[in-house]
Amino acid sequence: MNPVLVLGGGPAGLSAAAELASLGAPVLLVEKEEYWGGNPRRWHYSLLAPDLLPAEEVLNPLVSRVEGAPLIERHLRTTVSRVEPLSSGFRVELKGPETSGWREVSSVVLATGFDHFDSRRKYEYGYGRYPDVIDFKEFEGMIHDDRLTRPSDGALPKRIAWLLCVGSRDVQVGNPWCCRMGCAVSIKQAVEVRQKHPEIDTYVYYMDIRTYGLWEDLYWKSMNEYGVKFIRGRIGQITQAEGGKRLLATGEDTILSRPTEVPFDMIVLASGMEPGTGTKEAAQLFGLPVGPEGFLTPKLSDLNPVESGHPGIFLAGAATGPKAIPDAVTEGMGAALRAYKHARG
């Protein structure tokens, strides 16, 4: 039996590879970066919402399952450059430091993931201009490494704001969809800040809070246990105040129905999720359709969200849309099962 190609080594890809190996199928696991774990590892995610479990406790077992499986042939810094269909399965050309050349695979799991929105595209927030305007993926690393200081002067901030939906739900930047994670992750970050530094004042600017399902608990606790403050209404622009010492967030408090201007030491932007570069490349490479948002589209998103509609190609994780880690892991398992069935013929 030819191996199953798993493209992408994030939570979905790792989960699919481990699952396939446990079924006894050989796996060819390919990741373009030099590490396993995808975006969570790339940005050093701190605690994961909603249970505030350290990211390592989720990622490490996934990675060690893969690394401990003899049936999985793993390649980092490797990409697929060409694909040719076979009567059953595919020929794929790999390019990487350890392996290059054509390989035959029985089926494919695309777990190519997402990219965070580049907040510089929302000009009025001054990201890239003002050092204390921070993207929340960078803020993850800051709290993970316990360096909660202002980039501009190294001081501990006194007041921090989170601004949700940056690059999500916004036609001005062409991204009208919801990222699903921004609310929970931002609230979680505010909680983490308050846990370590109760003296820091934390505000979340939102238009809707979408801590969906059981995650709502986090939202409630952030208020009644950690004193995170919520302002309904968005910050429309960020400028410098006090001679550049602080940031000035101008917004509307839509509950009080009045414009607000609040100086902050740091403002954290909850950047949205866009189809990853790998996802866009995979769509081209395998000739798969993408939706208006640019994500891969399952043939039957309700009945069979892991099937691409093209025989032998299966989809998992954020390649098909914004997704939480547990969902990505689950889809990895589902795609593994389908790919295994296809490989067995």
Task: Using the minimum distance from each CB to other proteins, give the nearer residue, 141 or 291.
Answer: 291
| Eight-class DSSP state of 86 | -
Residues whose CB falls within 8 Å of the CB of residue 193, separated by 6 or more in sequence, listed in order: 143, 148, 160, 200, 202
Which is it for strands 114-116 and 107-110: parallel, antiparallel or unpaired? unpaired
Place of tokens 């007041």: 159
Backbone angles phi, psi at 66, to 5 degrees: -70, -45
Q: How far apart are CA 101 and CA 95, in angstroms?
A: 7
Place of tokens 């916004």: 170
Give contact residues for other proteins (rule: CB under 8 A): 118, 120-121, 123-124, 126, 128-129, 165, 169-176, 207-208, 233-237, 239-241, 243-244, 248, 250-254, 257-259, 292-294
Q: How far apart are CA 227 and CA 101, in angstroms?
A: 57
Nearest to 49 by CA among 38, 40, 60, 41: 40
Task: Using the minimum distance from each CB to other proteins, give the nearer residue, 76 or 248.
Answer: 248
Task: Using the minimum distance from each CB to other proteins, give the nearer residue, 148 or 241.
Answer: 241
For residue 76, the minimal CB distance to other proteins (Å) is 26
Task: Using the minimum distance from each CB to other proteins, give the nearer residue, 37 or 275.
Answer: 275
Q: In this structure, what is the dihedral angle of CA atoms 223, 257, 178, 58, given to the nearest 10 degrees?
A: -20
Task: Using the minimum distance from each CB to other proteins, give the nearer residue, 6 or 204.
Answer: 204
Sheet of strand 27-30, all strands in order from the earlier edge strand to the far edge: 72-75, 27-30, 4-7, 107-110, 313-315
For residue 113, the minimal CB distance to other proteins (Å) is 18
Q: How far apart are CA 320 and CA 330, in angstroms?
A: 14
Place of tokens 């969809």: 177
Task: Using the minimum distance from each CB to other proteins, give the nearer residue, 273 or 329.
Answer: 273
| Eight-class DSSP state of 60 | H
For residue 178, the minimal CB distance to other proteins (Å) is 11
For residue 15, the minimal CB distance to other proteins (Å) is 30
Task: Using the minimum distance from each CB to other proteins, give the nearer residue, 138 or 293.
Answer: 293
Contact by Cβ (8 Å): 143, 188: no
For residue 68, the minimal CB distance to other proteins (Å) is 40
Task: Using the minimum distance from each CB to other proteins, give the nearer residue, 96 or 151.
Answer: 151
For residue 240, the minimal CB distance to other proteins (Å) is 6
For residue 238, the minimal CB distance to other proteins (Å) is 10
For residue 255, the minimal CB distance to other proteins (Å) is 10
Q: How far apart are CA 126 and CA 266, in angstroms?
A: 12
